[in-house]
Structure 1
């Protein structure tokens, strides 16, 4: 199962929402306090040396970061969640996805 390392108010909600909409099971690991020296920061740093949230640890143990990359990974698993390739709607979808990731 995918583990989402995140903290309330730090942007992991977008990845959680996308995983939920895609019906991909995950567990949430709250690393609130990761932004200050201490045990939460060290725990997150052991998985992601950049110490960023969201950080996903995938089923195979690999790590995925960056909300846009997480969105693309989810779309690889659930292509039906995006408009078909080659349509104008697909172009709008990409624009809105990038805007969402950059601004939320």
Structure 2
């Protein structure tokens, strides 16, 4: 398998999942501004949506959308326990959290990355984002180690990836001590460190 990624983007989530699953894969960096991959290919020929991630399978099929790729990876290695098996309530709960991160938290950051967003627009986006982060904080308020309990799942890799963007867009996390502790805990995992090192995010 080949994962197309951009350093620190949402593609870090399936990257972490692949390492947690212990599956063989290669990486190809994408310059989303030029639309070219590290090897010089036109990324639109891989993923016409133009954004990362994309996972190219051995038979040439391509999966897109990070939340979907992460769950697909989890199902390829059920022994890793990255997701409950399809068809039970725990899996539905995982999908609920993954969808929230994708549709609410992830998208709430978008205006803060766009140069055209006005200062008033950024203030409004930060206020909205704070409300969504407060909800995440409430999920961690019972002292659980991970977002769904006491076992690492692909939801944790996705939340870690997205919530870490706060440092790049001047969104303070002082009001969310449980989330800050969560980010430190996930960031210390060997697989997460390996993924971030491979993307050039840490030394």
Q: TM-score, normalised by structure 1?
A: 0.75
Deviations 1:63-99 (A, max 9, x none): 0100121122123212341245535x44443333334
Q: Select the structure that is richer in strand.
A: 1
**Superposition RMSD on alpha carbons, in Å?**
2.4
Q: Indicate how the Cα distance of structure 1 residues 74 and 95 shifts in structure 2: closer, same or farther if over 3 A, else same.
A: same
Provide the residue aligned with 1:51 in structure 2: 50
Q: Select the structure that is richer in helix.
A: 2
Where does structure 1 lack aligned partners over 5 or more consecutive residues? none
Provide the residue aligned with 2:116 in structure 1: none
Q: Please give the residue correspondences for 1:1-104 in structure 2 after superposition, counting only pairs within 5 Å.
A: 2-32=1-31, 34-36=32-34, 39-40=36-37, 43-80=42-79, 81=81, 82-83=83-84, 86=88, 89-102=90-103, 103=105, 104=162
Which one has a bigger Cα radius of gyration? 2
Higher relative contact order (CA 8 A, sep 6+): 1
Q: TM-score, normalised by structure 2?
A: 0.43
